[in-house]
Structure formats: C-alpha cells, structure tokens
Structure 1
Amino acid sequence: MSFFVEFVRSPLTVGAVAPSGPALAAEVTAPVPRTGSPVVVELGPGTGSFTAAIQRRLAGDGRHIALEINPRFAERLAGLHPKVDVVTADAADLGTVLAERGLEQADVVVSGLPWAAFAEGQERDVLSAVAAALPPDGVFTTFAYVHTRWAPPARRLLGSLRGRFDEVIISRTIWGNLPPALVYHCRRPNT
C-alpha cells in the first residue's frame, strides 16, 4: 500500500500525496520530552513519519497514543510500531480515547492532520478536543505547507490556533520537506 494510493482513495482524509520528511518530523516533534514519562498523543499519523520521531524521543518511556481515521494506515502503523497504542478514531474523539485509557490529559499533542481539507466545524471540534486535553503547560504542534499559507483554510487555521492558545510560535520554513512547510508550536491552551 502506498501513501499516494491512499491519497487517491480519500484525498480529504489523507490530504497529501507523500509522507512528511525527516526535517519536518524533527521540528513537529521537538516539544516531546526526552525525559520522564509524558503522555504524547499523535493525531493523523498516516504512515508514521512523526510516529518514528516521537518514539525516538521517548526512547521507551512515557505513553504514545496515535489516533488515525484511515483503518489501512492504522493497521500498518500498529504493525510497524508495536509500542504505540494505535486507535482507529476521529481526532475530535480525543477526550473519549484518553478517558477510555484512564487518562485525563496529554502532555503533548502532535498533529499530522490535513487542515486544508477540514470544514470549519470539523476544525473547531478537533481544536476544542485538543485544548481540553492539554494541561496549562501542555504543547500542541501542527504544520501547514508554505504554498498554502495565504489560502483561506490556512488563514482560518492560524486564526483558530491564536484564539485557542495564548502563544503560537511559527517555525522557520522547513525547506527540506516536500513541499516546504511551517510548524505551529502552540502553548497555554485557552479552555
């Protein structure tokens, strides 16, 4: 199964023609602590570009839960990363998934979701779930492609992030990704 085939099958849930590259994965996962036992939630892991980077940062510690709506991606991801709790679920169901595991919050939420394909209500529901799942010192990271930054869905996402978080820091351009991307590091959720 190729990433491109899944994109053709369902472009609104896959959202890209190729997986994210290592440079983007490193920037998106930078807030994942290398020490302690953090709870890290990954939304829309796809084929696992960010998953592998999170696992390297956790080095066997903490808890890593991945919510993937595409059952083929979820099955493949579970096989490749047996230490990851892979759940076939919508990202908006984050609170339910955490509660089912006896967890109230996550320390870090990392997103690989295709925001440009989301309707406004879907975006609102996911960001509400993320903000509710984070403690005051929690971090949410997501990304956008540089070439779409000024398109209405990307501007809406940035506005939504700024409305949900006290601090939104935009990374430098990740030129090593295809296509080039920016990462949003969001802190101090406004719940």
Structure 2
Amino acid sequence: MLDALKRSVPPFVSAAVRNPKAVGAAAPSSRALAARMASAVPDGVDTPTVVEIGAGTGAFTRVASERVAGGGRYIAIEQDERMADHLERTIPGVEVVNGDAAELGKILADRGVTSVDAVLCGLPWSLFTVELQRRILGEISTAMAPHAVFTTFAYVHAARIPGSKRFRSEVEAVFEEVEVQSPVWRNLPPAMTYLCRGARGTD
C-alpha cells in the first residue's frame, strides 16, 4: 500500500518534499511561461539541437520539444531520478538524461554533441551559491554555438533577494546581451524571463 501511495503522489510534489532547495517553486510552471521559454528555440535552423536543464516534470519540455519535432534533437536534463523517469515515460521523442547541470559539457560530449542552438533552463538560481551559478553558466556558455540563445526565468517576488541579484550580475558577466523580458503574470508565482545571447568566448 505504501508503494502505491508513493506512486500516486505527483512527481513535482514528491521531488519538492525530498529536496525543497532543488525545486524552488510552489507549483509547476504555467503554459504561458512555457510558451515564453519555448520561443527561444530557433526557427531558422533545420535540425536544431536544444538542451533543457532542470526539466522537472516537463512543463517547458512539452511545449518546446514540439518546435523541433520531425527534425533536430531535444535533450532534457533532470537531476531528480523520479522526475527524469516521469519525463521519459510521458514525453516521447525527447532524450532524457538523469544528470547534473554542472556536468553539462560531459553529458553532451558523451552523446556526441559539440554545440547547441538553444538552452532552456528551469533551475532555481536564487538558491544556488555564487560558485555553483558560475560553474553552471560556464558550462552553458561553453556548449552554445555563436548564434545560440540561452533563456531562463526568475520569480518576480524574489528579484530583490541576494541570490537573484548575484545571478543577474553573473549572467551579465557571461553574456554580451541580456534582455530581461516583461513578467509572465499568468504563472504562480509570476515570473520574468531572461533572454541571453553572445556567450563570451564562443566567437
């Protein structure tokens, strides 16, 4: 009976209970936020390689992977094993990796990927140390092709906390162009998105 009860708990809730510092949200992201994030997937690339890190239960994955359907490659990286299993079962056509974003370069190299066209990220940056923020941003920027785009989000209410301020500073040090887009109010909590181009060192 205990096993059946565990299976009935939604993966997002289960992950939040197991490791609240790694989840960092009260609820899965909305369709509106997913659509904003998915817009980073390039239209002008015939067979794009898109990476999503911190894929969670697939709120972004379902929408963004549709933009590479029929061509290209979508790799979703999730550190929580149960959520990774959930992604693999429920979203066909996506390469799901149970792994750590801080090892992004190795994960991609193991799969024969030398550069990517877009990176979507659902990680809770404000909860990370500055060292971890730098390491993951470094992995992301190194993996990006010169034309690639990196997009992530932050909750509006958390914009003033130290972790969020550190992240804003770090991301501006890594990318030449950082566009802070208008908030997505149809999300719980409301979130603003970052659209970043020109990863330094990719020229």
Q: TM-score range by the shorter chain?
A: over 0.9
Q: Does residue 16 in structure 1 map to residue 3 in structure 2?
A: no
CA displacement, residues 65-85 of structure 1 (integer Å, 9 cap, x when unaligned): 111000000000001112111
Q: Report the number of matched residues.
A: 191
Q: Which residue does 1:30 correspond to in 2?
A: 39
**Aligned partners of 1:150, 1:17: CA distance in 2, in Å?**
18
In the TM superposition, residue 59 of structure 1 has moved relative to its aligned partner by: 2.5
Q: Which residue does 1:87 correspond to in 2?
A: 97
Given that residues 167 and 188 in structure 1 are in contact (C-alpha distance below 8 angstroms), is that contact kept between their aligned partners in structure 2? Answer: yes
For 1:27-66, list aligned pairs within 5 A: 27-34=36-43, 36-66=46-76
**Aligned partners of 1:46, 1:115: CA distance in 2, in Å?**
14
What are structure 1's unaligned runs of at least 5 residues?
Answer: none
Give identity over the alignment, percent: 44
Given that residues 68 and 89 in structure 1 are in contact (C-alpha distance below 8 angstroms), is that contact kept between their aligned partners in structure 2? Answer: yes
| Aligned partner letter, 2:157 | H
Given that residues 139 and 187 in structure 1 are in contact (C-alpha distance below 8 angstroms), is that contact kept between their aligned partners in structure 2? Answer: yes
Given that residues 33 and 58 in structure 1 are in contact (C-alpha distance below 8 angstroms), is that contact kept between their aligned partners in structure 2? Answer: no
Q: Which residue does 1:170 correspond to in 2?
A: 180
In the TM superposition, residue 182 of structure 1 has moved relative to its aligned partner by: 0.3
TM-score where L is the length of structure 1: 0.97
| Aligned partner letter, 1:52 | R
TM-score where L is the length of structure 2: 0.91
**Aligned partners of 1:60, 1:81: CA distance in 2, in Å?**
14
| Larger CA deviation: 113-122 vs 172-181 | 113-122
CA displacement, residues 17-59 of structure 1 (integer Å, 9 cap, x when unaligned): 2110011111111010245100000000000000001122223
Q: Which residue does 2:15 correspond to in 1?
A: 6
**Aligned partners of 2:67, 2:42: CA distance in 1, in Å?**
7
Runs of 4+ deviating beyond 3 Å: none
| Larger CA deviation: 110-119 vs 40-49 | 110-119
RMSD: 1.1
**Aligned partners of 2:159, 2:26: CA distance in 1, in Å?**
18
Greater Rg over alpha carbons, structure: 2
What are structure 2's unaligned runs of at least 5 residues?
Answer: 1-8
**Aligned partners of 1:150, 1:60: CA distance in 2, in Å?**
42
**Aligned partners of 1:60, 1:146: CA distance in 2, in Å?**
36
**Aligned partners of 1:45, 1:190: CA distance in 2, in Å?**
25
| Aligned partner letter, 1:156 | R
DSSP-derived class of the 2:146 partner: coil
Q: Which residue does 2:4 correspond to in 1?
A: none
